[in-house]
Chains A and B, each alone.
Chain A
Amino acid sequence: MYKIVKKRELNPTVTLMEVEAPAVAGKAQPGQFIILRVDAGGERIPLTIADFDRERGTVSIIFQIVGATTEKLNHRQEGDYIQDFVGPLGVPTHTEGLKKAAVVGGGVGCAIAYPVAKKLYEQGCEVHSIVGFRSRELVILEREFEAVSSRLCRMSDDGSFGEKGLVTDALRGLIESGEKYDRVIAIGPLVMMKFVCKLTKEFDIPTTVSMNPIMIDGTGMCGGCRLSLIRDGRRVTKFACVDGPDFDGFEVDFDEAMARGSMYRDFERHAHEETCNLFKGVENHA
Chain B
Amino acid sequence: MPNMSLKKNEMPSQEPQVRSRNFEEVALGYTEEQAIDEARRCLNCKNKPCVGGCPVNIMIPEFIAKMAEGDFEGAYQVIAKSSALPAVCGRVCPQESQCEKYCVRGIKGEPVGIGRLERFAADWHNEHVSEAPIRPGSNGHKIAVIGSGPSGLTCAGDLARLGYEVTVFEALHTPGGVLVYGIPEFRLPKAIVQKEIEGLKAMGVRIETNMVIGRSLSIDELFGEGFEAVFIGSGAGLPRFMNIPGENLKGVYSANEFLTRVNLMKAYLPGSDTPIQRGKRVAVVGGGNVAMDAARCAKRLGAEEVYIVYRRSEAELPARAEEVEHAKEEGIVFRLLNNPKEILGDGTGSVRGMECLEMELGEPDASGRRRPVEKAGSEFVLDVDCVIMAIGTSPNPLIKSTTEGLETQSWGGIIVNEETGLTSRPGVYAGGDAVTGAATVILAMGAGKAAAKAIHRQLSGEEA
Contacts and interface: CB of A to CB of B under 8 A. Distances in A.
A204 B180 CA distance: 48
A37 B238 contact: no
B398 A262 contact: no
Interface in A44-89: 44, 68-69, 83-89
B432 to A, nearest CB: 15
Interface string B168-185: 000111000000010000
Interface in B203-251: 209-212, 215-217, 237-239, 241, 243, 247-251
B405 interface: no
Interface in A254-286: 256, 259-260, 262-264, 267-268, 271
A231 B226 CA distance: 44
Chain B interface size range: 35 or more
Contacts of A227: 248
A220 B398 contact: yes
Contacts of B251: 263
Nearest to A227: B248
A284 to B, nearest CB: 19
A178 interface: no
Contacts of B398: 219-220, 242
Contacts of B348: 259
A74 to B, nearest CB: 15
Contact of A267 (B212, B215, B254, B275): B275
A220 B271 CA distance: 27
B260 interface: yes
A216 B261 contact: yes
A87 B216 CA distance: 6
Nearest to B401: A242
Contacts of A147: none
A110 B348 CA distance: 30
Nearest to B261: A216
A89 B402 CA distance: 13
Contacts of B397: 220, 242
A69 B256 contact: no
A41 B275 CA distance: 12
A84 B241 CA distance: 30
A150 interface: no
Chain A interface size range: 35 or more
Contacts of B216: 23-24, 27, 86-88
Contacts of A260: 248, 250, 349
A131 B274 CA distance: 33
A123 interface: no
A68 to B, nearest CB: 6
A219 B277 CA distance: 22
A124 interface: no
A223 B209 CA distance: 21
A237 interface: yes
Contacts of A42: 273
A223 B241 contact: yes
A94 B243 CA distance: 29
Given A216-B257, A217-B260, A263 B265 contact: no
24 contacts: A24-B216, A27-B216, A43-B274, A44-B265, A84-B210, A86-B210, A87-B212, A89-B215, A217-B171, A219-B212, A219-B237, A219-B396, A222-B260, A223-B253, A223-B254, A224-B254, A237-B243, A242-B396, A256-B248, A256-B349, A259-B250, A260-B248, A260-B349, A263-B250
A221 interface: yes
B210 A220 contact: no
A226 interface: yes
A85 B251 CA distance: 28
A37 B173 contact: yes
A95 interface: no
Given A27-B216, A216-B265, A86 B275 contact: no
B266 interface: yes
A23 to B, nearest CB: 5
Contacts of B349: 256, 259-260, 262
A267 B267 CA distance: 12
A228 interface: yes
B273 A237 contact: no
B283 to A, nearest CB: 17
B44 interface: no
A33 to B, nearest CB: 11
Contacts of A24: 216
B272 interface: yes
A223 B252 CA distance: 10
A221 B92 CA distance: 22
Interface in A12-46: 23-24, 27, 37, 41-44
Nearest to A38: B273
Interface in B72-122: none
Nearest to B210: A86
Interface in A186-212: none
Contacts of A263: 250-251, 277
Nearest to B234: A219
A84 B272 CA distance: 17
Given A216-B261, A217-B171, A223-B256, A87 B215 contact: yes
B275 A264 contact: yes
A219 B396 CA distance: 8
Contact of B273 (A41, A89, A222, A235): A41
A222 B261 CA distance: 9
A86 B169 CA distance: 12
